[in-house]
């Protein structure tokens, strides 16, 4: 059954949660959190309140200031446009100029472009006091009459929009900014201009004469009014649009005559067109920038003065205050960290040293001791008790080790004593029956084999022998047993050269081979085989004893693999003793493993460490 994602996720995150739990339970971390709480919380609260108040105050002040600037700009533009209307009235109300225009307009209709030095001189005298004007021209259905400077494009298509002023009666008509080119006898110049047009009437009976006067005024005039009025430290942009949203005046000349959509987008265009006859202010987000837009319609015409403020400029001072507060907060954090290490170090360091020593003790090192600093505080007392406890544990472990060692030697001797008499009894029994049956023909050889077997068994009183000696021991035993079975059981020994000098607990193969001979071939008179093999496996050595006998039932195999000392009927007394001795000498992870099936023989493996 595979774990579902819901059940697998908690186990995957559990180590991280445990680590975080350990970290947050640290005294040093608690001190740091406490200092952060008391130092940063008031500072952050004060900074947040200060920033909010300053932002609100700046917002209201700048909004008020922007509205005042907008009114001032609109009034200045209205005043300047009123001056242009007065100048227009001076021109169209001058009887001499009107007479000259009427005379010139009655000229030959085939001559479209007309000029008069007398007219130019008269006009120069009138407009000399105002340098804002670029040119004055007069247009009728038959002629273009030059006043001051001449339009380069003087065709009927160009002048047609201006002739619509004839339909306005005595009203003024304003024209949006265009790029005008003016020529004279010396040179030509191109200037952005907006225009004021008015129909000319007779002075005697106020009847129209069919001529329109056009004043071309430099756009720089409006640009200068906006820049002079909004001159401040804030990023305020001022410009003028007409009633259709076209740019009359803008700091960037490339946008003159284009729609305000180029600057404020579709939303800004719709909001400005709904300004009506009054003022309006609204926030706007365009091209990732947050803007505040204020607009006011002029009294002179349908033009609109617009002021645009960037919020980044509006909150520049409050953002600077926020930066200062962040720097102060960072300094406080660094100070808190340093203070936490200094204050918590005197408490956490002794505890951490104690934890480190305890871990060394847990790993088996009982020589460690806590070095007190003679401050006579609780940590010194704890350290002295720790040292006393480790000393006592060391003494008790030494006593237990000595006791267990003695017990182990006694058990080994008892086990070996248990096996040796048992084997000697069986061997002597075989010798007796062999001597009776064969008239003592093979007795000498059997005694020789028994002598070698006993020599290896007793050895020099050591617990281990070489692998080669252990195999020699079992071969001696097999030589004796073959006399009993009339060589009915074939034995094969396979030994790798690199394991010959390695050591092994002695007397571990003979009991297993004995059990195979006694129980694997109860009714088999010929064809029996026992194969003994010794080889390296991983970091250890493995003995493998395999027979082709009758095998065992699974229940019996399971019982034998438990190696209970009481199991005697099937496996004899040898197998449990062999397994017990291996575990005593080599460790609990080593020992015997039995595999068998009925009719398929038995395989017993002995797993040992590499001993030199």
3-state secondary structure 431-492: HHHHHHHHCCCCHHHHHHHHHHHHHHHHCCCCCEEEHHHHHHHHHHHHHHHHHHHCCCEEEE
Instruction: Categorize the per-residue pLDDT at 607 as very low, low, confident or very high, splitting at 50, 70 and 90.
Output: very high
Q: Do 569 and 517 touch, CB atoms closer than 8 A?
A: no
**By C-alpha distance, which of 476, 541, 548 is closest to 507?**
476
Domain spanning 94-220 has what CATH number? Answer: 3.30.450.20
pLDDT one-digit tens code per residue, 221-258: 988 888 876 665 557 788 998 888 899 999 888 888 88
CA atoms within 13 A on the CB side of 499: 21
- The Cα 578–Cα 591 span in angstroms is 8
Query: Helices 378-438 and 316-362: crossing angle, nearest 10°?
Result: 40
Tell me the two tokens of residue 82: 């009123």
Positions of CATH 3.30.450.20 in the chain = 94-220
Residue 610 DSSP class? -
- Per this entry, what is the length of the chain? 612
Assessment of whether the complete model's pTM goes beyond 0.95: no
Positions of CATH 3.30.565.10 in the chain = 489-609
CATH topology classification for 489-609: Heat Shock Protein 90 (3.30.565)
Q: Do 573 and 560 touch, CB atoms closer than 8 A?
A: no
What is the 3-state secondary structure of 208-252?
Answer: EEEEEEEEEEECHHHHHHHHHHCCCCCCEEEEEECCCCEEEECCC
Q: What per-residue confidence (pLDDT) applies to 36? A: 65
Mean pLDDT value of segment 343-362: 78
pLDDT one-digit tens code per residue, 159-204: 889 999 988 888 999 999 998 888 876 788 889 999 999 999 988 7
Q: Which residue has the tokens 């200031």?
A: 65
**By C-alpha distance, which of 283, 213, 279, 272 is closest to 246?**
272
- The Cα 570–Cα 21 span in angstroms is 57
Residue 164 DSSP class? G
Q: What per-residue confidence (pLDDT) applies to 57? A: 73
| pLDDT-above-70 percentage for the chain | 75
Instruction: Categorize the per-residue pLDDT at 398 as very low, low, confident or very high, splitting at 50, 70 and 90.
Output: confident
Instruction: Categorize the per-residue pLDDT at 444 as very low, low, confident or very high, splitting at 50, 70 and 90.
Output: low
Q: Please state the separation of Cα 417 from the chain's center in Å.
A: 70
pLDDT one-digit tens code per residue, 420-443: 555 665 666 666 666 666 666 666
CB neighbour burial string for 60-98, b if at least 16 within 10 angstroms, e if fewer: eebeeebeebbeebbbbbbebbeebbebbeebbebeebb
**Other Cβ atoms within 10 Å of 109 Cβ, number:** 10
């Amino acid at each position: 059954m595979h774990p579902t994602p819901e059940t697998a996720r908690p186990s995957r995150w559990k180590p991280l949660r445990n680590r975080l739990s350990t970290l947050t339970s640290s005294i040093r971390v608690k001190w740091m959190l406490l200092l952060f709480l008391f130092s940063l919380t008031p500072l952050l609260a004060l900074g947040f309140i200060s920033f909010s108040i300053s932002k609100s105050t700046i917002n209201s002040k700048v909004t008020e200031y922007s509205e005042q600037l907008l009114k001032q700009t609109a009034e200045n533009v209205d005043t300047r446009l009123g001056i242009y209307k007065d100048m227009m009235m001076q021109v169209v109300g001058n009887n001499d100029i009107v007479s000259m225009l009427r005379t010139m307009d009655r000229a030959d209709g085939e001559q479209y472009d007309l000029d008069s030095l007398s007219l130019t001189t008269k006009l120069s005298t009138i407009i000399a006091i105002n340098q804002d004007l670029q040119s004055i021209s007069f247009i009728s259905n038959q002629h273009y009459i030059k006043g001051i400077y001449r339009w380069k494009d003087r065709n009927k298509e160009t002048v047609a929009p201006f002739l619509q002023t004839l339909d306005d009666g005595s009203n003024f008509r304003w024209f949006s900014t265009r790029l005008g080119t003016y020529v004279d006898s010396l040179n030509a110049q191109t200037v952005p201009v907006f225009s004021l047009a008015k129909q000319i009437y007779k002075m005697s009976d106020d009847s129209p004469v069919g001529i329109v006067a056009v004043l071309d005024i430099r756009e720089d005039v409006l640009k200068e009014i906006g820049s002079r009025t909004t001159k401040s430290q804030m990023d305020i942009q001022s410009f003028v649009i007409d009633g259709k949203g076209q740019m009359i005046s803008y700091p960037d000349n490339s946008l003159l005559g284009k729609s305000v959509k180029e600057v404020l987008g579709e939303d800004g265009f719709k909001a400005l067109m709904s300004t009506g006859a009054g003022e309006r202010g609204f926030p706007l987000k365009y091209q990732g920038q947050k803007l505040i837009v204020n607009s006011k319609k002029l009294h002179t015409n349908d033009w609109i003065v617009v002021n645009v403020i960037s919020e980044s400029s509006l909150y520049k001072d409050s953002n600077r205050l926020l930066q200062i507060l962040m720097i102060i907060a960072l300094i406080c954090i660094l100070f808190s960290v340093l203070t936490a290490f200094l204050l918590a170090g005197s408490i956490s360091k002794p505890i951490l040293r104690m934890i480190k020593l305890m871990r060394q003790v847990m790993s088996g090192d009982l020589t460690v001791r806590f070095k007190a600093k003679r401050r006579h505080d609780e940590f010194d007392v704890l350290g002295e008790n720790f040292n006393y406890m480790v000393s006592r544990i060391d003494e008790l472990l030494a006593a237990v080790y000595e006791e267990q060692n003695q017990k182990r030697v006694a058990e080994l001797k008892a086990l070996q004593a248990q096996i040796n008499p048992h084997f000697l009894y069986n061997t002597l029994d075989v010798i007796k029956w062999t001597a009776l049956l064969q008239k003592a023909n093979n007795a000498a050889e059997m005694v020789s084999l028994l002598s070698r077997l006993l020599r290896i068994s007793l050895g020099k009183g050591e617990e281990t022998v070489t692998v080669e000696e252990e195999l020699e021991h079992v071969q001696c035993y097999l030589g004796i047993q073959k006399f009993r079975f009339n060589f009915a059981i074939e034995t094969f020994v396979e030994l790798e050269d690199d394991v010959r000098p390695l050591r092994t607990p002695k007397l571990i193969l003979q009991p297993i081979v004995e059990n195979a001979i006694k129980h694997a071939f109860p009714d088999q008179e010929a064809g029996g085989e026992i194969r003994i093999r010794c080889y390296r496996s991983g970091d250890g050595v493995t003995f493998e004893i395999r027979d082709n006998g009758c095998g065992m039932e699974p229940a019996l195999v399971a019982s034998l693999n438990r190696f209970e000392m009481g199991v005697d009927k099937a496996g004899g007394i040898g197998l449990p003793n062999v397994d017990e001795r291996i575990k005593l000498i080599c460790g609990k992870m080593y020992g015997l493993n039995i595999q068998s099936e009925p009719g398929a023989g038995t395989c017993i493996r002995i797993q040992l460490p590499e001993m030199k």
